Copies of this chain bind each other. A is one copy, B any other.
Amino acid sequence: MDNPFAPPGHDHASCVLSALDAAEAVCARRGERLTPLRRRVLELVWRGHRPVGAYDLLAMLQHERGRVAPPTVYRALDFLCEQGLVHRLDSLQAFIGCGQAADHQDGREDGRHRAHFLICRDCGIAVEVRDGQLDGAISHLAGRAGFAISDETIELSGRCADCQNEWIMGA
């Protein structure tokens, strides 16, 4: 029983810093360019641990730079997703910073990697999780079916431990 959800009062500034540092390192190693725009979008995605919509990011950028069009945001997000620094949550049509960017093992040629999520419907927080047993079950299932996996969308929605407790406590 170890709750992987970041507690409300944690030092989030350090989450952001380590994400940006990891991004710099990853891009440097691969010869990719983490431009000011891309870096800023990554920073905005890391505003919190809640998935962010592309148009929310667009609004934030417009607030700080005036006219910005959707392609600007989507291109930055595409880059960040390719590098595995951001993930898209298909069930929410929203984006979240990668929680494993530091331990990037470079599963593929590009920077993408398996990413599985728990998403709390009450507090809205999503966390990237990694589980060997789950990975094994998926590989085994695909193997038996003769299926060659190239992408996994695994998103579990429900209520995190904290939100369940709040109900019990009557908060």
Contact = CB atoms under 8 A, between A and B. Distances in A.
Contacts of A138: 134, 156
Contact of A158 (B140, B144, B149, B155): B149
B157 A142 contact: no
From DSSP, what is the main secondary structure of chain A's interface residues? mixed
A145 B138 CA distance: 19
A133 B136 CA distance: 9
Nearest to A4: B145
A141 interface: yes
Interface in A142-171: 142, 144-161, 164
A64 interface: no
A1 to B, nearest CB: 5
Q: Residue among A2, A152, A153, A161 with the most chain B CB within 10 A?
A: A153
13 contacts: A2-B144, A3-B146, A131-B140, A145-B160, A147-B160, A147-B161, A149-B156, A149-B158, A150-B158, A151-B158, A152-B157, A153-B153, A153-B157
Given A3-B146, A129-B145, A153-B157, 17 more contacts: A2-B144, A2-B145, A91-B153, A118-B145, A131-B137, A134-B137, A141-B156, A146-B160, A147-B158, A147-B160, A147-B161, A148-B159, A151-B156, A151-B157, A152-B155, A153-B153, A154-B155
- 9 nearest CB pairs, A to B: A146-B161, A90-B90, A149-B158, A137-B137, A134-B137, A153-B155, A151-B157, A150-B158, A133-B137
